[in-house]
Chains A and B, each alone.
Chain A
């Protein structure tokens, strides 16, 4: 609750966070959509067993990670949600952005090394805490890429 009060004092920051945060998010999402479309031919799944047909080909580990920061508006909106309960939509979009970015980076690495698919993909999330509020979240994703 104290957190919300502190947030109320910093109304201008929330406003700046809302405007620029929104712009940054929308641009990020647009970029992601483009890159994802370009990577559509690289398959991705979390099955552990690579089929016999592919087992003779060279395989290697690919990784991707991204740290995305929250903005003042997101923290404020989530703080309000914390009072009334319900889904924190601002944080949900933050998480999915980070995850998509990490996956895209992994797939780009796979594509660069001429892989056709990535198997046994796993995702890890960690919170990078600021002094009073969450500073950002990190998503790390890794898997086994198999050459074309």
Chain B
């Protein structure tokens, strides 16, 4: 699975647009981490616990999006965007979305010529 945040992949052409795929998660760290973060706020610096939390959550959301793409039979996800929103204190929602497509090598596709710009299914 190719995942990019551009709309094209050099050397590949889009054969079919499968549609929007997305993944999300809302995660929290246990209260101990929140307390440590509160203390850290006195002196400043990186909140490692929260960095870790966001990294994990983004990966989780991404995996869910890829799962959807796979289900649709896509082999690439283009124009991937990440969004973060806070729902409640200490928890964040990570959301990722992109367009699932089937791509093929530009050189070996004489058969499907003219089909590149079909409306997404």
Contact = CB atoms under 8 A, between A and B. Distances in A.
A49 B91 CA distance: 35
Contact of A46 (B33, B87, B90, B99): B99
Interface stretch (A8-16, A26-34, A51-59): A51-59
A20 interface: no
A134 B120 contact: no
Given A45-B17, A45-B20, A134-B87, A95 B95 contact: yes
Given A95-B24, A121-B20, A49 B95 contact: no
Could you tell me the dominant secondary structure of chain B's interface residues? strand
22 contacts: A45-B19, A45-B99, A45-B120, A46-B79, A46-B81, A46-B97, A47-B7, A48-B7, A51-B116, A54-B117, A54-B119, A81-B91, A86-B27, A95-B87, A103-B20, A116-B119, A122-B81, A123-B95, A125-B93, A125-B95, A134-B87, A134-B88
Interface of A: 1, 43-49, 51-54, 75, 78, 81-88, 91-92, 95-96, 99, 103, 116-117, 121-127, 133-134, 137
